[in-house]
Amino acid sequence: MNLNNRILQVDGLTKTYGKDTTKTEALRGISFDVLEGEFLGIMGASGSGKTTLLNCIATMTRPTSGKVYLRGKDLSAFTNAQLAEYRGRDIGYLFQEFELLDNLTARENIVLPLSLHGITGRGAEDRIRQISAVLDISEVLDKFPSQMSGGQKQRVAAARALISDPDIVLADEPTGALDSRNSRLLMDKLSAINQEHKKTIMMVTHDANAASYCSRIFFIQDGRLFHELRRKTDSETQTDFYGRIVTVMAQLGGGSANVL
Ligand SMILES: Nc1ncnc2c1ncn2[C@@H]1O[C@H](COP(=O)(O)OP(=O)(O)OP(=O)(O)O)[C@@H](O)[C@H]1O
């Protein structure tokens, strides 16, 4: 592994919620590296710690111990100003339930991170046009969320996550609220953004189909890394990779149907 293009380093991350009788050890020591341009999947049963892991990386949750480094810089040592810059510019976050603001149009939702984080509007219109074309949402830019389909809302949310050209996109179950057609459409777009625009993506998912678009997948069990799968570049079809994913899902706990 060439560590020169390591974008993110997760080192011995633990997270314990509550104490005594309410204590939950959500993460029990997780370490891995993410390389630039990877499309990394995180899978595991409900409650295994996937969202906690993503939120520690997003600095929405503070780890109990361990560190996260972005390009070698320790996030826990960031000042408030550096954290704001990190959240607003270095990462983009895509939520399962879209989290668009209902009283803003698609266009206003997409530019929100730029204004919230004081990023200047230089070229914002050009950038919206480019991203909207990639995500096929040019037609809905002046619509409000209530006037869009679920698939369109999630693609608008993806545009919002990408508008500041972040180093890494963190996605938590982005297809969780979508039907299979819209899931496939979103995954095709995310895959193109990863492959053609070289954007690093880290995605939590329960969906083996969505995971089959990834280049590498971590399986988490009870707050620990259980297994890692890597798609064989060039020599493995998405269908074959899907087959291997389903096999590991079954090993994780007695059959994919009752695990994930
Ligand atoms: N804020 C919190 N306070 C207390 N316990 C929490 C909190 N957030 C998560 N947990 C607990 O930590 C564990 C891991 O939760 P987490 O949401 O990270 O799992 P997950 O793998 O993302 O689950 P799911 O697939 O159901 O979303 C669970 O047992 C959960 O109940």
Do 42 and 50 form a contact (C-beta atoms < 8 A)? yes
**Residue ranges per structural domain of the chain:** 3-255
Whether the predicted interface score ipTM is above 0.95: yes
CA distance 208 to 27: 23
Average pLDDT, the chain: 90
> What is the CATH number that goes with domain 3-255?
3.40.50.300
Whether the per-residue pLDDT at 256 is higher than 60: the answer is no
- Tell me the pLDDT tens digit for each residue of 118-171: 666 567 788 888 999 999 999 999 999 999 999 999 999 999 999 988 999 999
Closest ligand 1 atom, residue 27 Cα: 14
Residue identifier of the C-alpha nearest atom 28 of ligand 1: 47
With a Cβ cut-off of 6 Å, ligand 1 is lined by: 17-18, 24, 26, 44, 46-52
- Tell me the pLDDT tens digit for each residue of 156-215: 999 999 998 899 999 999 999 999 999 999 999 999 999 988 899 999 999 999 999 999
Tokens for 242, please give them. 């899907």
Mutate to test the pocket of ligand 1, among 52, 96, 260 (most ligand atoms within 8 A of CB): 52
Residue identifier of the C-alpha nearest atom 12 of ligand 1: 26
CA distance 90 to 167: 5
Q: Which residue's structure tokens are 């996260």?
A: 68
Computed from CA positions of residues 235, 202, 168, 176, in that sequence, does the dihedral angle turn out positive or negative? positive
